[in-house]
Structure 1
Amino acid sequence: MSNPFVRLGAVVVAAAVLVGGATLAGPALTSADEPARASGRPTRVPVDRATLVCPESRYVSSESSATDVAAVSAPARIDAPGVGAEAARRAEAAPGQLAVLPLGSAKPLASVDQRERLAAYSVRKADTPPLLVSAQGAVAPGAAAGQLTRSGSGPLRGLAEAPCTQPGTQFWFVGTGSALGQHGRLYLTNTDEGSAQVDLRLYDEKGPVDADAARGLTVAPGRQTVVELDKLAPTSKRLAVAVVAQRGRVAAALRNDAQNADTAMGVDWIPSATSPAKQVVVPGVAPGDGDRVLSVVAPADSTASVNLSVLGPDGTFRPSGLGDLEVKPGTVAEIPLQDALRKQAGAVRVESDVPVTASVRSVFGSGSKPHDVAYSAASSPLSGPAVVPSTDAGKGRSASLLLSSPSQQAVKASVRLYSDDGREVGSTKVTVRPGSTEETRLEPKEVSRYTVVVTPDGGGPLYGSRLRVEDDPDGPMASSWPLTSAEATVVRPAARSDIGAGIGVRETVDPMFR
């Protein structure tokens, strides 16, 4: 996830290692290998460790329901803005390990020690705990991981895919609900040594949901808590959830599924959305038949006057009859988009006079056969390479990138595909025309599984997702992966002696660390 709260958490952790008598100094950043005269400034250095949490290791049997976890660090070179060449060389030369391991255990189930090499694990036991991905040393910068659960039958039939996320202090999820046959399950995982205390703030079609049981949730160290949202808000047809850690940190993930009597109507993980803002972009609206539904939450105390525009293949347009809307304070609104999109891929730009955030649900399947769903959520533009650790290839399986930009000029991106052992098995250049969405099919050479790396090449903000679809006799199965730039660097505060330490003299802290 590219989440500002995660980035802030990394800075706070870095600040916490300062010993007594040290203070933060200087607002400017310097690279780690600049001359000593600049040593009084904070420096930007490559990340040297990271923990990613995969929410659920579901397994029934290899034929009916099984979960696969994959992790990778790519691209091979650490080339991040603000990091000096010498610091990058030292980071690349350091020993490293990227490992998949169970929550509460230090014994790896799978591991690699090089960038662009895939660490993969297939869950084959029903009682497998949630899995973590630990990245240390040279493989830590830009590490990414994800899980995919493939279910061929039953109420959870479909593809359910989720990025494994870093712990943080705040997450937003939009698009679940408790309508008849619909179930939302929120997974809260604590990988730290101290307990975490979490509040859930719920919003539905009527306004904020008053649920005492949603406040003061305690997640024990090294444990996971699963919250059934339809028990907290049993009458909420449309629901948005804000996860706020009042103490400690958690990794949060939300799975939504629906049934119509005995027919599965789709299951997937809803990506974490960006925090409410006056303008958000939801990329990754899938092409094809089926409902395409935008969900918007306005958590503030004022009515949101919302303007919608669609970034389609031919440019930006305002959908007829849907351009200007009002979302009442604290409520969630749903807006159908399928007529405006006309079966084409797209993205939605949401502009409002008060902060909002949003998601889109894309439905696959028709008639009385089982359906599946893929979710996309408001996201941040790419600030560097985005990595999709694993995508399956082969007969009946297809995948594509949906790249969008609201820029008034063309935006370019490089796309590279890698095999499990790091060989390049495909590459292409993509140009997204001004204010539009570009769909690019992914076609690797002679591999059954591959990693995707998308690197923005300039021109303006770029948003996107990777969509995968599998043919099945009962109907298509689908999932979506949000493109985010993995954390590759962290700010290391500088320390200098403080003659006021221990005698009560307080010194101003630079605003960047507040």
Structure 2
Amino acid sequence: MSHPSTGQPTGRPTGRPTGRRSATRRGRLEVTAVLAVLAPVLTGSLLLLGGAEQEVADLGAPKETTLRTAALGCPEGRKDGDRVLVATDGEATGEVRVGRGADAENVEVGPESIGIDTSRAPVTVRADGELAPGLVAGRVGGSPLGAAQCASPSAETWFTGVGAGPEHSSVLELINPGGGRAVADVSVLGSDGPIEADQLLGVVVPGGDRVRLDLAKLLPRTDDLAVRVVTTRGRVSASVLDVVDRIGSEAAVRDWLPGQDSPQRRSTLLGLAGGDGSRTLVLANPGESEAVTSIRLVTPESTFAPRDLDDVRVPPQSVVRVSVGALLASDAAEGAIGLELDSSAPVTASLRQAVDGDLTHAVPLERIADPSAVLVPRGATRLLLADAEATGSVRVVVRDDRGRQLAARTVEVERDRGASVGLPDAAAFVSVAPRGTSVLAAVVVSGDGTAIAGFSPLVRAGLVPDVRPGLPEQAGAQSPGS
């Protein structure tokens, strides 16, 4: 399947100021007459407002319901040969739709069946009925290794460490899995504060299509940036393809930069690539006050702050980059599996690792309390676990790209310690199920480069709003990520 790139950023229409009509004097009414006219109106209005206020106060939270339809947006491949793997973390077997528009095809998935799509173009994966809960998909590839988990539409996504210059550039891709048009606002932070980018406001994404925004062409700069994507209409799945092309070096290297839902005071980034090269921690502070961030090393034995390591100060509404190559090459970091950040104010973050002719990113992970899964390329595979909420265990199941089970085991976890677990090299599907605790988890695949796949909660239920008779504004549908 092949699909041409479509769409350009569409600016919001500029509204015109409206004039005011001057009032005309119509004569003086007696005070008693005015009161006679207004009293019933005011009384009725107050009663109406009071009733409306009572209705709003009586509204409850949206209720969970069985998820009947799920859609994931899979980014464009870095190169020919990158594949989309589609699987389910549930027990149902059946067909899902993979592709865009009329070119979508049926692919069979099940507990022992993994679907494969070889198109390089971005695709939407859609499942209905029993296959909707637990739907999971990922774009994977080798030479060098890479993995991007296909994302559910989200109301807000942050990408930190984005580039828009000649040596480091990024392409933001917006996918609309729905039938109607979607609209997104893209705001940008730089090293000196917010960046005016009106051309990134009101970006229209046609139904079933995608829009690619090359930031180096739209917003040329050389500093590291943070991008916030907010969906204002419809549903949008956002992704970023990051490119490092050093002048005088070999061919450019590419990797997908994962996003995060929101800024956090405390976050953990798992997955450290071995080899020679640069390692850059990028922090963004969207708040109004300075953020002071401390860095700790996460190892299987403990989580600790290395001696004499200074805190990172991030000014309000700005982006700071810090080289952590010396830290990760130190004796203190031997055996480390990630970084933990503790900040005085919420920040977003990424760890960009350009080593041995490869590019890979680690970003803050979401906490997993229920079963979840990721899809990965072949290679030397390890499961990383950290920040267990309490002493407990994690059940791990591994399958190859034909759905055959390769391994199943239980890993014990406890607070303030990490875990690194070797998995079969032929792994394509890795599922985790925490028991008695919640954890942060990622899979790291090494070989020709490094790929990192972070676990996130799977969408397993829909939301139905609490609708009551009354004001029209109270009605409407809600769903996770919309």
TM-score with structure 1 length normalisation? 0.74
Separation in 1, partners of 2:297, 2:424? 27
Please give the alpha-carbon distance, in whole angstroms, between the structure 2 residues aligned to 1:432 and 1:352: 25
**Aligned match of 2:385:** 403
1:105 has 2:102 as partner: yes
Structure-2 residue corresponding to 1:348:
339
Aligned pairs for 1:343-492 (under 5 A) are 343-365=334-356, 371-392=357-378, 397-405=379-387, 407=389, 409-443=390-424, 448=426, 450-459=428-437, 461-471=438-448, 477-492=449-464
Q: Deviations over 1:308-359 (max 9, x none)?
A: 2222232111133435221011111122334334353333222222221111
Alignment of 1:54-453 (within 5 A): 54-57=74-77, 59=79, 65-76=80-91, 96-100=94-98, 102-105=99-102, 107-108=104-105, 110-112=106-108, 114-123=110-119, 129-150=121-142, 152=143, 158-260=144-246, 261-264=248-251, 266-286=253-273, 290-341=277-328, 342-365=333-356, 371-392=357-378, 397-405=379-387, 407=389, 409-443=390-424, 448=426, 450-453=428-431
Distance (Å, rounded) in 2 between the aligned partners of 1:291 and 1:411? 36
Alignment of 1:3-18 (within 5 A): none
Q: Structure 2 vs 1, CA of residues 163 and 450 (structure 1 numbering), >3 Å: closer, same or farther?
A: closer
* Cα 1:272–1:505 shift into 2, 3 Å: closer
* Percentage of matched positions with identical amino acids: 26
Amino acid of the residue matched to residue 209 of structure 1?
I
Measure, in 2, the Cα distance between the counterparts of 1:148 and 1:256: 15
Deviation at 1:389, TM superposition (A): 2.8
CA 1:254–1:24: 2 relative to 1, 3 Å: farther
Q: Which residue of 1 aligns with 2:73?
A: 53
Q: Shift of residue 187 of structure 1? A: 0.4
Q: Distance in 2 between the 1:255 and 1:451 partners?
A: 23
- Cα distance in structure 1, aligned partners of 2:429 and 2:221: 41
> Which structure has the bigger radius of gyration?
2
Q: How many angstroms apart in 1 are the aligned matches of 2:338 and 2:388?
A: 9
Q: Residues of 1 paired with 2:474 and 2:254: CA distance?
A: 52
Q: Which moved more, 1:112-121 or 1:221-230?
A: 112-121
Deviations 1:25-47, CA, capped at 9 Å, x for gaps: 7748xxxxxxxxxxxxx653432
RMSD over aligned CA atoms reads 3.1
Mapped partners of 2:376, 2:338: distance in 1: 23
Unaligned runs of 5+ in 1: 1-21, 29-41, 60-64, 77-91, 153-157, 366-370, 472-476
Q: Output the CA distance in 1 between the equivalents of 2:205 and 2:67.
A: 27
TM-score normalized by structure 2? 0.79
- 1:320 is paired with a residue whose SS is coil
Once the two structures are TM-superposed, the CA of residue 249 in structure 1 deviates from its matched residue by 2.1
Describe the shift of the 1:505–1:165 C-alpha distance in structure 2 as closer, same or farther (beyond 3 A). closer
Residue 295 of structure 2 aligns with an amino acid whose one-letter code is L
Matched residue type, 1:188: L
Deviations 1:366-407 (A, max 9, x none): xxxxx1121121121102112123432xxxx31111211164
Distance of aligned partners of 1:210 and 1:162 in 2 relative to their CA distance in 1, 3 Å threshold: same
| Counterpart amino acid of residue 361 in structure 1 | R
Q: Give the Cα–Cα distance (whole angstroms) in 2 for the partners of residues 210 and 485 of structure 1.
A: 34
In the alignment, the residues of structure 2 paired with residue 324 and residue 58 of structure 1 have an alpha-carbon distance, to the nearest angstrom, of 36
